[in-house]
Amino acid sequence: MTIVEDYVIPPDWLTFCEIDSWHPSTNYYPWSGAAKVEVVDIEDIQPPRRNPGIEAFRKYKLVPVLLAFISPECALPPVTLELLPNASGFRYRVTNGFHRFYASRAVGYVSIPAIINEAFEL
């Protein structure tokens, strides 16, 4: 069982993806399709949260991410981040890429490719 934060990735998903016998050879996953990508330390990103009652991971989203990590021919889109105010304790918040963020942490990536947007006013 792999626990990332307080979310659990089911062990049979990891076994199916052969993640147990794979280790990343870089600090982040390969990306595709974006020109303005920055590589961001995962520790600078506020871990995204699901609303209560919503399952943490969707198999049809997480398994393809894990399979892409081990494939030499596949690249994923970067996550989309939002710059946070200095007082938040983190520099960024995930606005698109929940599964890519947690899958990256689970396999040991220390950075993540990202497109960074300015914070919006609520």
Within a 13 Å sphere around the CA of 115, how many CA atoms are in the beta-carbon half? 14
Q: What is the pTM of this model?
A: 0.87
Would 46 be classed as within a structural domain? yes
Would 122 be classed as within a structural domain? no
Residue 14 domain boundaries: 2-117
Would 22 be classed as within a structural domain? yes
CATH value at residue 86? 3.90.1530.10
Q: Is the pLDDT score of 67 beyond 80?
A: yes
Q: What is the pLDDT of residues 80-103, one digit of tens each?
A: 999 988 767 899 999 999 999 999
Dihedrals phi, psi of 16, to nearest 5 degrees: -55, -40
Could you tell me the two tokens for 56? 């943490």
Would 87 be classed as within a structural domain? yes
Count of domains forming the chain? 1
**Tokens 């690249």, residue located:** 75
